């Protein structure tokens, strides 16, 4: 079992390249058992230790930012068809704790799974049916009650519960229960974890975030991590007060921007996600919605500038277009993109299930048209996932308009450097 768990984790992580996921570099056989080799930062500590040492000094917004960072990484993983299934503070590392460059990395994927993007068995990694035997007693109180009893439990609903349990710990300063048995007893009594029972003055939205995520009945939880993130935005909106906003003269860090903040002349509506670049839904002065894609650090500015140069000459209904000139905020360069406002194809498939033949035919035609157009203008489209395809209405917009696909994945110039240039959410 241990050997298979190590192999499963290595297979899941060896092809992943995301700053929020600890990358497995190699796997070796050792006299004590299989050993995975990771790229590590000497400053890293586990999240449970971080909360013990620094939790009392964290402000409420710091705690919400922490939850968002973890949830966005999990949403990225789900968009690539793999799931953790046993998330807890002991599965999260905090790099450079307390620093301006503090980051979170998820590891311990030995219970994870991956579905094939094609729906076939090729590329599929089945999750273990022995979750309880691969986690320690400190991890168990963060697991959904069905994780050890339902063999084919929905991986998204498992992780939604774990996110809610982690949120409970982050917000209240204490684990959701001392043991799995105590957690089950609490859920049988209350139906879900209740932050308001421990945290004085917890707002309704904050209480609802944890409650809905941790319902004992899996069908009553948020249906996906993306929905958890959307509700987290509502929590931030409830907590945002005018006197807490920075002065107009102060330039806001786009990575810390909240709904209502002004970034590059645009009012932020909500954060959409991202890793090497952050994507923010925003409104311009005329009330038109746009997406700001801003480099997460100045080292990635050149990539954004290269992307802007390519997008400036792409004009086709199947490609998410740039709008106006690039922006620069807090030493980070950014793009302004037209908004495809109906989420990604991956989110729609999880929400609505199997698509009709007519919809599949329309979306397939859009995808082929996008690839054909990019080839015609000398841009090399890159491999993409369902999270790179976003829904958009036919133009002009009207009630009941059929949804179209917009392509927003990496493309490359046909040039010597062949550098990747565009992705809306990466």
User: Lowest-confidence range among 119-128, 207-216, 252-261?
Assistant: 119-128
Q: What are phi and psi of 403, to 5 degrees?
A: -85, 145
Planar angle of CA 64, 66, 70, nearest 5 degrees: 115
Give, as one character, the DSSP assignment of residue 275: S
Contacts of 219 (CB under 8 A, 6+ apart): none
Q: Which residue has the tokens 């917000």?
A: 171
**Which CATH superfamily does the domain covering 246-338 fall into?**
Phosphorylase Kinase; domain 1 (3.30.200.20)
Position 176 scores a pLDDT of: 96
Pairwise CA distance, residues 370 & 12, whole Å: 30
State the Cα–Cα distance between residues 299 and 119, nearest whole angstrom.
Answer: 38
Q: Please, are residues 426 and 275 in contact by the beta-carbon 8 Å criterion?
A: yes
Task: Please name the residue that has the structure tokens 């990771």.
Answer: 38
Is a pLDDT exceeding 70 seen at residue 120? no
What is the reported pLDDT for 198? 86
| pLDDT for the residue 425 | 32
Could you give the 3-state DSSP secondary structure of residue 324? coil
DSSP state of 362: H
In the predicted model, is pLDDT for residue 413 greater than 80?
Answer: no
Look at 29-38, 97-106, 163-172, 308-317 and tell me which has the smallest mean pLDDT.
29-38
Q: What distance in Å separates the CA atoms of residue 86 and residue 158, rounded to the nearest whole number? A: 8
Domain topology for 2-239:
Transferase(Phosphotransferase); domain 1 (1.10.510)
pLDDT digits (tens, 9 = 90+) for 369-384: 888 888 888 776 555 5
Distance CA 421, CA 410 (A): 6
73, 109 Cβ separation under 8 angstroms: no
Judge whether residue 57 has pLDDT over 50: yes
Average pLDDT over residues 378-393: 56
Of 72-81, 100-109, 299-308, 377-386, the least confident = 377-386
What is the predicted pLDDT for the residue at 420? 37
pLDDT of residue 424: 32
* pLDDT value at 213 more than 70: yes
CA distance 9 to 111: 8
In the three-class reduction of DSSP (H, G, I as helix; E, B as strand; rest coil), residue 1 is classed as coil
Report the pLDDT value the prediction gives residue 123, as an integer from 0 to 100.
57
Positive or negative, the CA dihedral 161, 162, 166, 169 is: positive
267, containing H or E segment: strand 266-274
What pLDDT, on a 0 to 100 scale, did the predictor assign at position 392? 52
pLDDT at 82: 82
Please tell me the predicted confidence (pLDDT) of residue 189. Answer: 95
- Sequence spans of domains, the chain: 2-239, 246-338, 345-413
pLDDT value at 118 more than 70: no
- pLDDT surpasses 80 at 277: yes
DSSP code for 401: P
Q: Which residue would you say has higher pLDDT here, 34 or 62?
A: 62
What confidence score (pLDDT) does residue 183 get? 94
Q: Work out the mean pLDDT of the chain and round it to a whole number.
A: 79
Q: Of the spans 115-119, 207-211, 365-369, which averages the highest pLDDT?
A: 207-211
More confident residue, 423 or 43: 43
CA distances from 20 to 93, 163, 184 (A): 9, 15, 30
Residue of higher predicted confidence among 341 and 212? 212
- pTM for the structure as a whole: 0.65
Q: What is the pLDDT of residues 294-315, one digit of tens each?
A: 988 888 888 888 888 888 888 7
Nearest to 155 by CA among 91, 77, 102, 99: 77
């Amino acid at each position: 079992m241990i050997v298979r768990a190590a192999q499963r984790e290595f297979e899941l992580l060896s092809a992943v390249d995301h700053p929020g996921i600890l990358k497995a570099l190699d796997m070796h056989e050792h006299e004590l058992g299989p050993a995975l080799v990771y790229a590590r930062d000497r400053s890293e500590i586990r999240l449970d230790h971080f909360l013990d040492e620094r939790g009392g000094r964290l402000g409420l917004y710091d705690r919400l930012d922490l939850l968002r960072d973890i949830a966005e990484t999990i949403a990225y993983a789900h968009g690539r068809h793999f799931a953790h299934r046993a998330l807890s503070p002991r599965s999260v590392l905090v790099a450079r704790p307390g620093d301006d460059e503090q980051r979170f990395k998820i590891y311990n994927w030995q219970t994870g799974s991956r579905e094939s993007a094609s729906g076939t068995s090729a590329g599929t990694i089945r999750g273990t049916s022995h979750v309880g035997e691969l986690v320690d007693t400190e991890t168990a109180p963060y697991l959904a009650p069905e994780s050890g009893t339902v063999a084919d439990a929905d991986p998204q609903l498992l992780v939604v519960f774990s996110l809610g349990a982690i949120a409970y710990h982050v917000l209240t300063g204490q684990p959701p229960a001392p043991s799995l048995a105590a957690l089950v007893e609490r859920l049988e009594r209350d139906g879900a974890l209740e932050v308001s029972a421990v945290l004085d003055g917890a707002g309704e939205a904050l209480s609802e975030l944890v409650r809905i995520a941790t319902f004992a009945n899996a069908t009553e939880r948020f249906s996906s991590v993306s929905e958890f993130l959307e509700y987290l935005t509502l929590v931030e909106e409830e907590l945002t007060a005018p006197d807490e906003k920075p002065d107009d003269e102060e330039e806001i860090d786009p990575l810390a921007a909240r709904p209502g903040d002004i970034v590059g002349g645009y009012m932020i509506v909500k954060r959409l996600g991202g890793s090497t670049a952050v994507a923010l839904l925003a409104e311009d002065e005329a009330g038109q919605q746009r997406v700001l894609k801003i480099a997460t650090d100045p080292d990635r500015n050149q990539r954004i500038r290269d992307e802007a140069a390519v997008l400036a000459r792409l004009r086709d209904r199947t490609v998410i277009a740039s709008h106006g000139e690039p922006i620069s905020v807090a030493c980070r360069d950014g793009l302004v993109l037209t908004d495809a406002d109906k989420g990604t194809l991956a989110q729609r498939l999880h929400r609505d299930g199997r698509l009709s033949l007519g919809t599949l035919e329309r979306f397939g035609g859009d995808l082929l048209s996008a690839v054909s157009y990019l080839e015609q203008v000398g841009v090399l489209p890159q491999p993409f996932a369902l999270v790179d395809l976003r829904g958009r209405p036919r133009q002009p917009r009207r009630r009941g308009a059929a949804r179209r696909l917009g392509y927003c994945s990496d493309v490359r110039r046909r040039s010597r450097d062949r550098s990747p240039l565009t992705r809306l959410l990466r």
